Amino acid sequence: MNEILRITSVTWVGGHRLSLRFSDGTSKVVDVWPLLNGPVFEPLREEAYFSRGTLDSVCGTVVWPNGADFAPEALKSLAAETASAT
């Protein structure tokens, strides 16, 4: 039986990028911008609002104050960001 994928840790790393750790042990930094389509995600296009995302430890995903969230599978399917010099 397959375990349900959950997010166990989230850190906002700037822009629309999140550093995520998943219940299967994988970790990656992803840019969520490609998923920000539709009315519920419109506020997340503002970086200051996006930075307010938190871990919902009950559901195992990232949530925002307006109720927006993403399935862990959707976040895991995003390409991993590569480190860049700033």
Q: Which CATH fold topology does 7-77 show?
A: NE0471 N-terminal domain-like (3.30.2020)
Full-model pTM:
0.88
86 pLDDT more than 70: no
Token look-up 């925002």 returns 64
Average pLDDT, the chain: 92
Supply the DSSP symbol for 81. P
Phi, psi of 55 (to 5 degrees): -80, 125
Query: How would DSSP label each residue in 27-58?
Result: EEEEE-GGG--SGGGGGGGSHHHHTT-EEETT
pLDDT in tens, 32-65: 999 999 999 999 999 999 999 999 999 999 999 9
Asked if pLDDT for residue 85 goes beyond 60, the answer is: no
Domain ranges of the chain: 7-77
